[in-house]
């Protein structure tokens, strides 16, 4: 039987359609795929550690998705039938699954989290870990290639009879919650009440019916916080209230409204598997995107002055000003993709450049002090500690980032590439955009002797007033002066799809539209780029 699992790869994760229910979406991730991929991961882990499959211990957990239990049992089969000791963790968070390789009570060699993050209810997938962290894109490619064939099964040895499978039931989320509670107690270090350092704080947690409800019930409440205004804590894989996603406008509006209506001190919101988080201050103002980057950086700056913060490519110029001029840090704007951002921070440290924080505007935040694990609950814990400390001084959390400015306008337009060979087509557009933006029409015409000197940026019919941003590590980023939109744009290729996202920000009303119009003649020349939404 010929198998094709390549479409299941999503960068460093596996993601697929696990259930029927959405028109046109045919399931491609079921029990067979789960079992074979898990066995292939076991072989990868065996090669990585130098241990035989029967010597390995692997933890397995899931988010609340409807397909989770079915896939969990298939994953367990794929591991146990080849001799591994399996620790089923039930409902869990992605960061907790990695911590099963760190906590001495577990000492796992690897872990598998069954999740599709914020994607719709019919999707699911796998995130894999070893003791050094998450797997990279090439690792996933190798696992998929093995799982598609038969030879890898022989490398795993003879199957183990079901009655001899090794399972060990242990309560991972209880240990992980205690780890976070201890972090808060030590961080606040209240001389008034060490065991209840959050007494007097009213905190709204919005889990979006994903896996983050434990943070309110098992972390905050035992430390004295009032969590009575929290919402959508119960796991429900249909996600009936809003998408469990800090980037979702409806989700952020829901928690902002709840904080305001209940007069709470702080709001925390998680994605489905709790590797991302954002916050809301006591006035219901979102601390997300640029704000969550600034907040995390402000917390890091207190202990690690001058460190380098690595972010994704779509952060604002105002954020750079805040990080470098207000906090005294260094900002490296890198690429989209949480693994890209994390790997770059790790690389900088290996080269002797201190980088304590890797963070995406999506809410993925990884700190060096926490194994460079993107852990939404850990970031929330750092925020809660600071909120408690500030409350004792009569201050509020927003005081940390009140000097962060935001652009007047910000939009993202996703431009589909309609040809089959979309990768090279997108590369061509970016290469030619880079050339097009490097020299203004008037400068070229002057060089050709067609016109005399012209004041820079004074033209309205050509692309004067723009300048290519260098260095730039993803796509093409262009700055526009005040006469031409007073902002910037970034055109890049999607990480996985036939899409070219175009981000535009401006510091003046109507500026995004002005910048878009400057780009329109260039983009319109590409017949297989759909600019109907521009």
Q: Is residue 420 part of a domain?
A: yes
Residue 172 CA to residue 112 CA, distance in Å, equals 13
On the question of pLDDT at 141 being above 50, the answer is yes
| CATH code of 454's domain | 3.30.310.50
Q: Is residue 52 part of a domain?
A: yes
The whole-number pLDDT of residue 449 equals: 53
Domain ends where: 144, 170, 196? 170
Which whole number is the average pLDDT over 46-75? Answer: 98
The whole-number pLDDT of residue 456 equals: 44
Q: Is residue 50 part of a domain?
A: yes
Say yes or no: 44 and 115 in one domain: yes
Which whole number is the average pLDDT over 454-467? Answer: 56
On the question of pLDDT at 446 being above 80, the answer is no
Sequence-separated (6 or more) residues with CB below 8 Å from residue 70: 18, 30, 31
Number of domains making up the chain: 4
Q: Is residue 152 part of a domain?
A: yes
User: Are 82 and 111 spatial neighbours (Cβ–Cβ below 8 Å)?
Assistant: no
3-state SS class at 258: helix
Q: Is residue 533 part of a domain?
A: no
Say yes or no: 399 and 432 in one domain: no
Which whole number is the average pLDDT over 35-46? Answer: 98
Residue 108 CA to residue 168 CA, distance in Å, equals 11
Say yes or no: 242 and 318 in one domain: no
Say yes or no: 319 and 238 in one domain: no
Mean pLDDT score of the chain: 94
Q: Could you list the residue range(s) of the whole structural domain that residue 472 is in?
A: 409-524
Give φ, ψ of 263 to 5 degrees. Answer: 50, 50
**What distances in angstroms separate CA 473 from CA 220, 470, 494, one per listed residue?**
40, 9, 14
Say yes or no: 327 and 396 in one domain: no
Encode burial over 322-340: b for 16+ CB neighbours within 10 A, e otherwise: bbeebbebbbbbbbbbbbb
Say yes or no: 56 and 155 in one domain: yes
Say yes or no: 359 and 393 in one domain: no
| CATH code of 326's domain | 3.40.120.10
Say yes or no: 19 and 135 in one domain: yes
Q: Is residue 281 part of a domain?
A: yes
Give per-residue pLDDT as tens, 353-369: 999 999 999 999 999 99
The whole-number pLDDT of residue 454 equals: 47
Does residue 121 have a cis bond before it (omega within 30 degrees)?
A: no
The whole-number pLDDT of residue 441 equals: 53
Say yes or no: 243 and 302 in one domain: no
Give the range with max mean pLDDT: 75-79, 452-456, 463-467: 75-79
Higher-pLDDT residue of 270, 466: 270
Say yes or no: 208 and 266 in one domain: yes
* Residue 497 pLDDT grade (very low, low, confident, very high; cuts 50, 70, 90): confident
Domain ends where: 150, 170, 190? 170
Which whole number is the average pLDDT over 141-150? Answer: 96
On the question of pLDDT at 440 being above 50, the answer is yes
Q: What angle do CA 320, 324, 328 make, to 5 degrees?
A: 155
Give per-residue pLDDT as tens, 385-439: 999 999 999 999 999 999 999 999 999 999 999 999 999 999 999 999 999 887 6
On the question of pLDDT at 445 being above 60, the answer is no
Q: Is residue 532 part of a domain?
A: no
Domain ends where: 170, 205, 239? 170
Say yes or no: 258 and 394 in one domain: yes
Say yes or no: 503 and 490 in one domain: yes
Which whole number is the average pLDDT over 288-296? Answer: 97
Q: What is the pTM of this model?
A: 0.93
């Amino acid at each position: 039987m010929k198998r094709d699992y390549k479409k299941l790869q999503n960068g460093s994760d596996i993601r697929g359609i696990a259930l029927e229910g959405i028109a046109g979406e045919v399931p491609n991730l079921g029990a067979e795929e789960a079992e074979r991929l898990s066995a292939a991961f076991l072989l990868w882990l065996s090669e990585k550690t130098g241990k035989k499959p029967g010597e390995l211990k692997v933890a397995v957990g899931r988010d609340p998705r409807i397909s989770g239990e079915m896939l969990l049992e298939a994953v367990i089969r794929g591991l146990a039938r080849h001799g591994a000791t399996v620790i089923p963790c039930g409902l869990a968070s992605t960061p907790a699954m990695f911590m099963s390789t760190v906590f001495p009570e577990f000492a796992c060699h690897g872990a598998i989290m069954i999740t599709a993050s914020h994607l719709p209810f019919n999707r699911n997938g796998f995130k894999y870990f070893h003791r050094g962290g998450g797997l990279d894109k090439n690792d996933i490619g190798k696992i998929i290639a093995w799982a598609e064939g038969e030879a890898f099964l022989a490398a795993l040895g003879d199957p183990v009879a079901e009655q001899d499978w090794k399972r060990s039931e242990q309560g991972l989320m209880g240990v992980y919650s205690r780890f976070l509670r201890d972090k808060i107690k030590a961080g606040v270090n209240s001389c008034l009440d060490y065991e209840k350092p959050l007494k007097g704080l009213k905190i709204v947690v919005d889990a979006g019916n994903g896996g983050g409800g434990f943070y309110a019930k098992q972390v905050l409440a035992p430390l004295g916080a009032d969590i009575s205004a929290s919402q959508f804590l119960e796991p429900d894989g249909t996600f009936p209230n809003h998408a469990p996603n800090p980037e979702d406008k409806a989700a952020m509006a829901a928690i902002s409204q709840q904080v305001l209506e209940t007069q709470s001190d702080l709001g925390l919101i998680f994605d489905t598997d709790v590797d991302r988080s954002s916050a809301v201050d006591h006035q219901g103002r979102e601390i997300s995107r640029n704000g969550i980057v600034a907040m995390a950086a402000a917390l890091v700056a207190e202990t690690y002055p001058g460190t380098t913060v690595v972010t994704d490519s779509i952060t604002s110029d105002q954020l750079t000003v805040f990080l470098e001029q207000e906090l005294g840090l260094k900002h490296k704007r890198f690429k989209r993709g949480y693994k890209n951002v994390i790997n770059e921070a790790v690389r900088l440290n290996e080269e002797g450049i201190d980088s304590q924080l890797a963070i995406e505007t999506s809410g993925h935040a990884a700190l060096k002090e926490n194994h460079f694990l993107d852990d939404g609950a850990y970031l929330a814990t750092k925020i809660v500690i600071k909120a408690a400390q500030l409350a004792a001084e009569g201050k509020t959390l927003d005081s940390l980032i009140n000097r962060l400015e935001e652009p007047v306008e910000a939009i993202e337009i996703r431009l589909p590439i309609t040809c089959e060979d979309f990768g090279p087509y997108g590369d061509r557009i970016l290469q030619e955009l880079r050339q097009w933006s490097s020299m203004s029409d008037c400068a070229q015409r002057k060089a050709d002797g067609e016109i005399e000197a012209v004041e820079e940026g004074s033209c309205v019919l050509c692309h004067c007033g723009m300048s290519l941003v260098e260095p730039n590590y993803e796509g093409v980023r262009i700055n526009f002066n005040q006469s031409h939109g007073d902002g910037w744009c970034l055109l890049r290729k999607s990480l996985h799809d036939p899409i070219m996202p175009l981000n535009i920000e401006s510091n003046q009303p109507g500026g995004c539209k002005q910048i878009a119009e400057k780009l329109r003649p260039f983009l319109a020349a590409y017949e297989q780029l759909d600019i109907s939404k521009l």
